[in-house]
C-alpha cells in the first residue's frame, strides 16, 4: 500500500558511531523531524559524504528511534556503505525520509509477532520490536546468518538463532528454523510473521507462509537510486489478485509487501 509520509531532507549530525562487528556499524543521527514521523519498516536515503563520489544516496532502514535521534545499522559492502561505516562523530550527512511504507501492525488478528531476519536484514527489527511490544504484542526473533559472526541479535529480546554452517544455534537457514519451531510457536496463539533479509530467503519464507497460511509482511531490497519514485531504479514485479503481475516501485509502494504478493 502506498503511504505518504511527511518527507524531509535534513542535514543531520552524527552523534555516535559504534562498530558492532567486523563490517557492521550503528550510526546515530540527530534528526528530529524524521525521528518524530518514522514508522517501523520506513527507510531513509542518505548522502554519505559531501562530494560527488558517490553521486547517489544510499537507502537504509531505520534501525531504532530514540527521542530526536535515529540509528542506522550499516554493513560495509561497497564504496558508499564503507564511507558511511567510517563516518565520525560530529560530521554531518544529508538524510531524506522517512521513505516508503511500513510494516502493517494494525487490522491483523495476531497476538504474537515472529520477526524473521537474515544478515543485515535484522536492521529494521529493533524499531519494529519496540513498537510491537508497546502495542502489547509478544515478540519472538528468529535470526539467521551464514556464520555466527554474521548474526546481529544486539538489543533484541527472545532470540532464536540459526547459522548455515552450524557455528551457533540451529544448524540451517532461518526458514528451516521457523519450520522446526512452528509447533511450539503456535502454542503462543495467533501468529504474524514480519521479515527482512536477502531476497532468496524472503522467497523461501513466502512459500512457507503460504503453505502454512501464516500472515506475513516482507521488507524487500533492491538497488535504489532516488528513493522517491523518480528514477525507476527499484522496480519489482508483484502478483495481482487476478493471477497476473504488475510492476511497483519499491521506494513508493514498498519496501514492505504482503508475502502473498511476492513472485516466487
Q: Which whole-number Å values give the CA distances from 23 to 20, 64, 91, in the listed order?
A: 8, 19, 20
Among 115, 123, 174, 202, binds ligand FAD (CB under 6 A): 123
Are 143 and 196 in contact by the 8 Å Cβ rule? The answer is: no
- State in angstroms the smallest separation of the CB of 56 from ligand FAD: 8
Least distance between ligand FAD and beta carbon 230 (Å): 15
> Residue 122: is the preceding peptide bond cis (ω within 30°)?
no
Whole-number Å distance between alpha carbons of 179 and 156: 21
Cβ 148 to ligand FAD shortest distance, Å: 19
Q: Restricting to residues 68-107, which ones interact with ligand FAD according to CB under 6 A? A: 73-75, 77-81
Q: What is the per-residue binding string for ligand FAD in 192-231, x denoting contact by CB under 6 A? A: -----------------------------xxxx-------
Rank residues 37 and 182 by Cβ distance to ligand FAD and give the closer one: 37
Cβ of residue 190: shortest distance to ligand FAD, in angstroms? Answer: 28
Binding to ligand FAD in span 50-69, by CB under 6 A: 54, 58-61
Residue 120 as a binder of ligand FAD (CB under 6 A): the answer is yes
Q: CA 93, CA 234: separation in Å to the nearest integer?
A: 23
- Determine, following the binding rule CB under 6 A, whether residue 31 of this chain makes contact with ligand FAD: no
Residue whose CB is nearest to ligand FAD in the complex, by number = 78
Spatial distance between the Cα atoms of 152 and 197, rounded to a whole number of angstroms: 12
Listed residue (108, 35, 107) closest to 72, CA to CA = 35
For ligand FAD, the closer of residues 169 and 227 by Cβ is 227
My answer on whether omega of the bond before 41 falls inside 30° of 0, hence cis, is: no
Burial of 228 (0-12, 13-18, 19+ CB in 10 A): middle
- Kindly list the residues in this chain that would bind ligand FAD in the complex (CB under 6 A): 43, 54, 58-61, 73-75, 77-81, 120, 123, 221-224, 255
Amino acid at each position: 500500500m502506498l503511504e505518504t509520509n511527511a518527507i524531509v531532507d535534513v542535514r543531520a549530525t552524527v552523534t555516535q558511531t559504534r562498530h558492532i562487528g567486523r563490517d557492521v556499524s550503528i550510526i546515530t543521527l540527530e534528526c528530529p523531524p524524521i525521528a518524530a514521523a518514522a514508522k517501523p519498516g520506513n527507510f531513509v536515503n542518505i548522502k554519505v559524504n559531501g562530494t560527488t563520489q558517490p553521486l547517489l544516496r544510499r537507502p537504509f532502514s531505520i534501525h531504532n528511534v530514540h527521542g530526536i535521534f535515529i540509528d542506522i545499522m550499516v554493513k560495509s559492502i561497497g564504496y558508499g556503505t564503507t564511507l558511511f561505516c567510517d563516518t565520525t562523530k560530529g560530521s554531518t550527512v544529508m538524510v531524506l525520509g522517512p521513505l516508503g511504507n511500513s510494516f502493517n501492525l494494525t487490522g491483523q488478528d495476531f497476538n504474537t509477532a515472529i520477526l524473521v531476519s537474515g544478515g543485515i536484514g535484522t536492521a529494521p527489527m529493533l524499531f519494529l520490536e519496540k513498537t510491537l511490544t508497546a502495542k502489547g504484542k509478544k515478540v519472538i526473533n528468529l535470526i539467521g546468518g551464514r556464520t555466527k559472526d554474521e548474526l546481529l541479535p544486539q538489543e533484541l529480546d527472545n532470540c532464536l538463532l540459526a547459522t548455515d554452517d552450524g557455528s551457533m544455534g540451529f544448524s540451517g537457514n532461518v526458514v528451516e528454523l521457523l519450520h522446526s519451531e512452528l509447533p511450539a510457536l503456535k502454542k503462543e496463539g495467533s501468529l504474524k510473521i514480519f521479515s527482512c533479509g536477502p531476497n532468496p530467503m524472503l522467497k523461501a519464507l513466502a512459500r512457507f507462509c503460504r503453505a502454512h497460511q501464516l500472515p506475513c509482511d516482507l521488507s524487500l531490497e533492491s538497488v535504489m537510486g532516488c528513493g522517491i519514485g523518480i528514477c525507476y531504479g527499484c522496480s519489482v514485479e508483484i502478483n495481482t489478485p487476478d493471477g497476473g503481475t504488475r510492476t511497483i516501485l519499491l521506494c513508493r509502494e514498498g519496501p514492505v509487501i504482503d508475502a502473498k504478493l511476492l513472485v516466487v
